């Protein structure tokens, strides 16, 4: 279990299971996990909240499988459930859309969902749950195959509860095989540190453990970066801002790369050896989790704000705000200092994010280390659709402190 827990959910392949109530979604997650992960029942609306299950699936690697309530849930709580299902869709890297062969209703809901995934280039496995009736399933298969276009989809007939008739051998293996066929070969090849390092590089991390740092722990971006640098055979040295000069003086060579907490950006830039390249955790995560180009444009847009502008700060953690909180205190202060006290700043946290952010002039997102790239990109898509510039903490701070051009990316 320790190994499983070493991969945070944010870095796992998110497999979302969608479909009508009673199509067999919960049976399917149980088949894939080999456990009673979700309650299976013929009572419609049994799965009320999406169920997230982290597990290793060979050959896909570290995954999170998400079981969702039925897409046509018309119960009193249905609207709230659909919201959560929508959120699960935004996090989904690869979707399984379950069709029940014994359900004669029209497929408008499923097709809407399919088109939504196709638009976002999310691969979809259309799984026809035969409920043991192969000929019924084949009729449905023919109907759906006419709807499917492109190679971003696979159509498969299986029994979601794993029943294996004479033609049904290794249902789970077939489903996992179909999923891995759908994934691009390089889907897990991206590095946080991109092409900024090579084997044997000396990398210095500047990580102030100030009041915002969780007690006795490192935050996720720092942990993930250290792990990756070790995997990439680099030598990693960590220090705090106040010990930067002391640390540098004790190193025989200047570090090839320094990665700093963005709050110490200016100080580190002024004190680093000339030959050491400098970046920040936030800038690295901006590229790793989001769209760096859009974030840089968004940061430059800050110059066009005025005292009547409206800024949305989106912070993914839901921690109680602390004194000197970067999202709630430091960034608003930097902005108000420049544009006046009347500047309007709203803060949302967790998975709260407006469907249409059009009423804002700028969105500033945190590093989003708790969420997967797909989900962050879905937020950026919303900002783009509303023509609202968007940036993130690190890129914004780098711009506001005048060093965006000095950071390597």
In sequence order, which residues have a C-beta less than 8 Å from that of residue 96 and are 6 or more positions away? 15, 16, 17, 18, 28, 124, 125, 127, 175, 179
Residue 387 burial (CB count, 10 A): 8
- By a kind-dependent CB cut-off of 5 to 8 A, residue 315 interacts, out of ligand GDP, ligand SF4, Mg ion, none, with ligand SF4
Query: Which of ligand GDP, ligand SF4, Mg ion, none lies near 23, with the C-beta cut-off 5 to 8 A by kind?
Result: ligand GDP
Cα 255 → chain centroid: 31
Judged by DSSP in three states, 228 sits in helix
Q: Let me know: does 335 contact 343? Beta carbons within 8 Å.
A: yes
Single out the residue of 9, 46, 209, 247 in contact with ligand GDP (rule: CB under 6 A): 46
- What is 292-354 written as a DSSP string? HHHHHHHHHHGGG--TT-EEEEEES--PPP-TT-IIIIIHHHHHHHHH-TT-EEEEEETT---
> Judging by beta carbons within 10 Å of its beta carbon (0-12, 13-18, 19+), is residue 316 exposed, middle or buried?
buried
Q: Which of 18, 23, 179, 262 binds ligand GDP (CB under 6 A)?
A: 23
**At closest approach, how far in Å is the CB of 162 from ligand GDP?**
7
> Which of 278, 224, 18 is CA-nearest to residue 127?
18
Instruction: Phi first, then psi: give them for residue 197, nearest 5 degrees.
Output: -130, 160
Residue from 10, 13, 27, 394 touching ligand GDP (CB under 6 A): that is: 27
Cis link prior to 112 (omega < 30° from 0)?
A: no
CB of 66 to ligand GDP, least distance (A): 12
Q: Kindly state the smallest distance separating residue 53's Cβ from Mg ion, in Å.
A: 13
- Quote the least distance from Cβ 147 to ligand GDP, whole Å: 20
- Residues 155-214 binding ligand GDP (CB under 6 A) are 159-161, 163
- Residue of the chain from 13, 16, 26, 261 that contacts Mg ion (CB under 5 A): 26
Residue 128 backbone dihedrals phi, psi, to 5 degrees: -90, 115
# binding residues, ligand GDP (CB under 6 A): 21
Choose which of 33, 47, 276, 280 interacts with Mg ion (CB under 5 A).
47
Q: With CB cut-offs between 5 and 8 Å by kind, which of Mg ion, ligand GDP, ligand SF4, none does residue 85 bind?
A: none
Binding footprint of ligand SF4 on the chain (CB under 6 A): 219-220, 315-317, 366-370
Residue 25 binding ligand GDP, by CB under 6 A: yes
Q: Smallest distance from the beta carbon of 289 to ligand SF4, in angstroms?
A: 9
Under rule CB under 6 A, residue 68 binds ligand GDP:
no
Interacting positions 1-20 with ligand GDP (CB under 6 A): 19
On whether the CB atoms of residues 114 and 154 are closer than 8 A, the answer is no
User: Smaller CB distance to Mg ion: residue 101 or 197?
Assistant: 101
The residue range among 21-29, 221-229, 281-289, 338-346 that interacts with ligand GDP, by the rule CB under 6 A, is 21-29
* Number of Cα atoms under 13 Å in the Cβ half of residue 44: 13
Q: In angstroms, rounded to a whole number, what is the distance separating the alpha carbons of residues 408 and 195?
A: 10
Give CA–CA dist 364/268, Å, rounded: 23
Draw the binding track, 267-296, toward ligand GDP (x: CB under 6 A; -: no contact). ------------------------------
Residue 7: exposure state from Cβ atoms within 10 A (0-12, 13-18, ≥19): middle
Nearer to ligand SF4, 65 or 370 (CB): 370
Asked if 349 touches ligand GDP (CB under 6 A), the answer is no
Which one, 35 or 304, has the nearer CB to ligand GDP?
Answer: 35
Q: Which is nearer to Mg ion, 69 or 208 (CB)?
A: 69
Task: Compute the least distance from the CB of residue 172 to ligand SF4, in Å.
Answer: 33
Nearer to ligand GDP, 26 or 222 (CB): 26
Tokens standing for 125?
């496995």
Partner whose binding site includes residue 131, from Mg ion, ligand SF4, ligand GDP, none (CB under 5 to 8 Å by kind) = ligand GDP
CA distance readout (Å), 405 to 32, 205, 296, 398, 408 = 48, 20, 10, 8, 8
Residue 22 near which of ligand SF4, Mg ion, ligand GDP, none (CB within 5-8 Å, type-dependent): ligand GDP
- Residues found near Mg ion in the complex (CB under 5 A): 25-26, 47
- Residues found near ligand GDP in the complex (CB under 6 A): 19, 21-27, 40-42, 46-47, 70, 129, 131-132, 159-161, 163
């Amino acid at each position: 279990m320790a190994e499983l827990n070493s991969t945070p959910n944010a870095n796992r392949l998110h497999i979302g299971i969608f479909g009508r109530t009673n199509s067999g979604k919960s049976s399917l997650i149980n088949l894939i996990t080999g456990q009673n992960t979700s309650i299976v029942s013929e009572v419609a609306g049994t799965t009320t909240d999406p169920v997230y299950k982290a597990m290793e699936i060979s050959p896909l690697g570290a995954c999170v499988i998400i079981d969702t309530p039925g897409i046509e849930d018309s119960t009193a709580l249905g609207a709230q459930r659909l919201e959560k299902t929508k959120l699960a869709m935004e996090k989904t890297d690869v979707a399984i859309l379950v069709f029940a062969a014994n359900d004669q209703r029209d497929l408008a809901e499923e097709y809407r969902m399919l088109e939504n995934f196709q638009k976002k280039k999310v691969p979809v496995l259309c799984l026809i749950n035969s409920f043991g009736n192969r000929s019924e399933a084949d009729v449905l298969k023919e109907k759906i195959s006419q709807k499917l276009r492109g190679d971003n989809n696979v159509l498969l007939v299986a029994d979601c509860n794993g029943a294996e008739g004479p033609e049904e051998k290794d249902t789970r293996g077939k489903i996992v095989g179909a999923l891995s066929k759908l994934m691009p070969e390089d889907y897990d090849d991206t590095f946080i540190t991109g092409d900024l390092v090579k084997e044997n590089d000396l990398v210095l991390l500047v990580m102030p453990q100030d009041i915002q740092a969780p007690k006795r722990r490192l935050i996720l971006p720092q942990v993930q970066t250290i792990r990756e640098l070790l995997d990439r055979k680099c030598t990693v040295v960590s220090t705090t801002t106040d010990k930067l000069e002391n640390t540098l003086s004790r190193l025989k060579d200047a570090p090839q790369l320094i990665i700093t907490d963005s709050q110490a950006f200016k100080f580190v830039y002024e004190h680093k050896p000339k030959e050491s390249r400098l970046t920040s955790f936030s800038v690295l995560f901006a590229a790793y989790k989001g769209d760096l180009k859009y974030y840089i444009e968004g940061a430059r847009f800050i110059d066009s704000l005025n005292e009547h502008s409206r800024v949305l700060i989106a912070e993914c953690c839901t921690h109680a705000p602390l004194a000197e909180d970067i999202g709630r205190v430091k960034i608003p202060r930097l902005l108000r200092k420049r544009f006046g006290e009347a500047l309007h700043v709203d803060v949302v946290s967790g998975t709260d994010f407006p469907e249409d952010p059009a009423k804002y002039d700028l969105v500033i997102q945190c590093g989003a280390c708790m969420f997967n790239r797909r989900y962050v990109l879905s937020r950026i898509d919303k900002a783009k659709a509303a023509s609202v510039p968007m940036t993130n903490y690190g890129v914004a701070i780098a711009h506001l402190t005048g060093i965006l051009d000095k950071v390597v990316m």
